[in-house]
A and B are shown apart, each in its own frame.
Chain A
Amino acid sequence: MPEGYLPLFVFLIVALLFPVVLLWAAALVRPSTPGQVKHEAYECGIEAASNARGRYTVRFYIISILFVIFDVETVFLFPWAVRYRQLGWFGIGEIGVFLLILVAGYIWAWQKRALEWV
């Protein structure tokens, strides 16, 4: 076995032991009061599992779609920032066009009242 892999091996052992030891230690000291609420995945917010026919307002979708769109757009800015110097003025121009299109979408969403809650 190549020498270089030994630290990795040690790391693996430690990673396995660490949670086991911690959980065991915690169980020793903590008080035990089991309950319905504590079994849920999230103790606040939306129920993890409910009736499939249940509905909630479509505004959540719109907001989340807008979030995804504008968030993903940011991802495109990142490679440009990294290569900022090499790209030079051409890069500035390109990203300007890109942002302009983004702004157009933003204006459209705004005017279509997608940003209003009520």
Chain B
Amino acid sequence: MPGNYMPSAAELFRFSPELLLTAAGTLLMIFEAITSPKQKRSLPVFAFLSLLAALALAVAASSDPGPAFNRMLQVDGFATFFRVLVMAIGAVTILISTNYLKQAEHEGGEFYSLVLFSVVGQCLMATANELIMIFIGIEVSSIATYVLAGYLRDDKRNNEAALKYFLLGSFATAFLLYGVAWIYGTTGTTNLSGVRGVLLDPQNAPNAILISVALGLVLVGLLFKVSAVPFQSWAPDVYQGAPAPVTAFMATGPKAAAFAAFLRITMWAFEPVKNHWIPVLWFTAIATMIVGNFAALRQSNVKRLLAYSSIAHAGYVLVALTAASKTGTEAAMFYMVSYAAMNLGAFAVIAHVARKGERRVEIDDFAGLGNRQPLTAAIFTVFLLSLIGVPLTGGFFAKFYVFKAALDSQLIALTIVGLLNSAVAAFYYLRLIVIMYMQPAPEGVDTLPEPSLGIRTALVACSLATVVLGVFPSLVLDIAGRGASFIR
């Protein structure tokens, strides 16, 4: 039937943020090729503005929710929530990156273009209602991120990070794809709503073992993407090796999108068989929290420390997923927002302190920061306190909702382990605060320049977000609540 494929105007509108970002990314490549070095300075501005425009479009598109492209995409509150989140993450990444790239003498439109492409992939993951689309989203996002991780191609650590990320990442997506094939084989569809329909149909229930295998393979791929134990081993190396702004991006954007896909797959498509995956997630959540926190205790490299901390945080989100309820979904959504705010901020500070060649990323390099740059140190402290989970910061309510959701679902042991873990975690975050404020800067330390405008903006935005989430969590929680009820 000719014309059947033609998307309606409404569908194009729902998909417009991705279209805009793709066009902007492509244009950036051309601009990079044909502009003079002086004109190139406006490339990050262009990328930033197009992200903001896409964000506005995503918000506008949420006024007309519904499916698009033969139900491959589903633009609902849930999708909008994560779309806006990853776009905001992309925008902050650009703010952090400009000065960093200038110092590294590696400015280029490609960087921003890759960020945009990666964001497009993440948006797809958030919007997809179809396993194939999730896979394509993951690939688009990942391939761009692989390149970003190795962006400073003369830097050995960058190369190592990119290669590791690429090899292990491809391996994981292969698992995911294999799982998708199994799902298609057992249920005859790759559409998430279709899968749900098959699983709900008592007449036509597929073999439980086949479903478990299929689900297991998909979970392996997803757990890898969110760096959960036992698939976490890549994260510390990659986070440590990649340029700090890229680490900021990798630790937040792809993770948020992966959790979005995770939630759609578990809480929507496979919700009818949740008894199959709850025990898996239960163990993974406990292991992830424990491994992440205890490994972080012994780190001396700040980037590596935050890498382990981000593993631990993935564990907390998994607790919310294990709750397998609407409250759990809301908690995971809220968690990702506050996690993004505090982690982007923390990595922005690291990018600022590390400077050219990232020679200052040991904990001791932060000594005396409280004296040298009181404001930067104070803002960093806000992020660290939020990571600990002190009240009146976003981190506290994030954890609070997660544990509330867990208790709602009677996961008492999981809650206790999680709470104790968050007390353990305080130790290594405190170490950083101690170093900053209570140890004098070593003799002959070179002066730290004032943060650039981009970093300053990013820091102010992230710290404001962290505090606002801590004082008025309802602002985001209500939106998350509406988004989470769409997915049901």
> Chain A: residues with CB nearer than 8 A to chain B?
85-88, 90-91, 100-101, 104-105, 107-108, 110-112
Are A104's CB and B29's CB within 8 A? Answer: yes
How far is it, in angstroms, between the C-alpha of A101 and the C-alpha of B30 when the chains are bound? 10
Contact with A along B28-47 (1 / 0, CB 8 A): 01101110000000000000
Residues of chain A lying within 8 A (CB to CB) of residue B170 = none
Given contacts A107-B33, A110-B33, A112-B33, contact A101 B3 (CB under 8 A): no
Residue contact B2 to A88, C-beta cutoff 8 Å: yes
Q: Which chain B positions have C-beta within 8 A of A104?
A: 26-27, 29-30
Least CB distance, B212 to chain A, in whole angstroms: 34
Identify A108's interface contact among B3, B5, B6, B32, CB under 8 A: B32
CB distance from A50 to the nearest CB of B (A): 24
Contacts of B26 in A (CB 8 A): 100-101, 104
* CB neighbours of B29 from chain A (8 A): 104-105, 107-108
Contact B3 A107 (CB under 8 A): no
What are 9 A-B residue pairs whose CB atoms fall within 8 Å in the complex? Answer: A88-B2, A88-B3, A90-B5, A101-B22, A104-B26, A105-B29, A107-B33, A107-B34, A112-B33
Q: How far, in Å, is A92 (CB) from chain B's closest CB?
A: 12
What residues of chain B lie closer than 8 Å to A88, measured between beta carbons?
2-3
Interface size bracket, B side? 10 to 19
A112 to B110, CA, bound (A): 11
Residues of chain B lying within 8 A (CB to CB) of residue A112: 33
CB distance from A105 to the nearest CB of B (A): 7
What residues of chain B lie closer than 8 Å to A86, measured between beta carbons?
A: 1-2
Chain A, Cβ-Cβ closest to B19: A97
| B114 CB to nearest chain A CB (Å) | 12
Complex Cα spacing A107 to B30, Å: 7
CA distance A108 to B1 in the complex (A): 38
- CA distance in complex: A103, B30 (Å): 10
User: Which B residues lie within 8 Å of A100 (CB)?
Assistant: 26
Instruction: Tell me how far the C-beta of B68 lies from the nearest C-beta in chain A, rounded to whole angstroms.
Output: 15
CA distance A91 to B22 in the complex (A): 19
List of 6 A-B pairs having minimum Cβ-Cβ separation, nearest first: A111-B33, A88-B2, A108-B29, A108-B33, A104-B26, A90-B6
Contact residues of B between 138 and 183, Cβ < 8 Å to A? none
Bound-complex Cα distance A101 to B2 (A): 25
Shortest Cβ distance from B474 into chain A, in angstroms? 43
| Chain A residues near B5 (CB-CB < 8 A) | 87, 90-91
Decide if A108 touches B2 in the complex (CB within 8 Å): no
B34 surroundings in chain A (CB, below 8 A): 107, 111
- Inter-chain CA distance A104–B28, complex, in Å, is 10
- In whole angstroms, what is the CA distance A49 to B242 when docked? 35
| 0/1 interface trace, chain B 435-478, chain A, CB 8 Å (1 if under) | 00000000000000000000000000000000000000000000
Q: List B contacts of A90 (CB < 8 A).
A: 3, 5-6
Question: In whole Å, how far is A77's beta carbon from the nearest beta carbon of chain B?
Answer: 17
Cα distance, A88 to B5, chains bound together (Å): 9
The residue of chain B having its C-beta at the shortest distance from the C-beta of A110 within the complex is: B33
Chain B 107-120, CB-CB to A under 8 Å as 1, else 0, gives 00000000000000
Nearest-neighbour CB distance to chain B for A62, whole angstroms, equals 13
Bound together, the chains give a CA A23 to CA B164 distance in angstroms of 47
Considering the chains assembled together, what is the distance between the CA atoms of A38 and B378 in angstroms? 74
Cα separation A112 to B35 with both chains bound (whole Å): 12
* Chain A residue, CB-CB nearest to B113: A108
* Cα(A52)–Cα(B73), bound, Å: 48
Give A100's nearest chain B residue, CB to CB: B26
A84 to nearest B CB, angstroms?
11
Give the Cβ gap from B24 to chain A, nearest Cβ, in Å: 12
Q: CA A88 – CA B26 in complex, angstroms?
A: 26
Q: How far is the CA of A108 from the CA of B32 in the complex (A)?
A: 8
Measured CA separation A90–B69 after assembly (Å)? 13
| Complex Cα–Cα for A46 and B254 (A) | 42
Known: A100-B26, A107-B34. 20 other contacts (CB 8 A): A85-B2, A86-B2, A87-B2, A87-B5, A88-B3, A90-B3, A90-B5, A90-B6, A91-B5, A101-B22, A104-B29, A104-B30, A105-B29, A107-B30, A107-B33, A108-B29, A108-B33, A110-B33, A111-B33, A111-B34
A101: chain B residues at CB < 8 Å are 22, 26
Interchain CA distance A67-B431 in the complex, whole Å: 52
Name the residue on B nearest A105 (C-beta).
B29
Least Cβ–Cβ distance between B299 and chain A, in angstroms? 35
What chain B residues lie within 8 Å of A87 (beta carbons)?
2, 5
In the complex, what residues of B have CB within 8 A of residue A91's CB?
A: 5
Taking CB as reference atom, which chain A residue is nearest B29?
Answer: A108
Please give me the residue from chain B that is nearest to A109 by CB atom.
B33
A110 contact set on B, CB distance < 8 A = 33
Among the interface residues A85, A90, A100, which one has the most CB atoms of the partner chain B within 10 A? A90
Residues of A within 8 A of B1 (CB): 86
A55–B456 alpha-carbon span in the complex (Å): 46
Which chain A residue lies CB-closest to B1?
A86
Chain B residue contacts of A108, Cβ below 8 A: 29-30, 32-33
Measured between alpha carbons, how far is A22 from B26 in the docked complex, in Å? Answer: 56
Could you tell me the distance between the alpha carbons of A74 and B110 in the complex, rounded to whole angstroms? 24
Question: Which residues of B lie under 8 Å from residue A107 when comparing CB positions?
Answer: 29-30, 33-34
Chain B window 1-13, contacts with chain A (Cβ cutoff 8 Å), 1 for yes, 0 for no? 1110110000000
CA distance A9 to B27 in the complex (A): 59
Residues of A near B32 (CB, < 8 A) are 108
- Nearest CB on A from B150, distance (A): 15
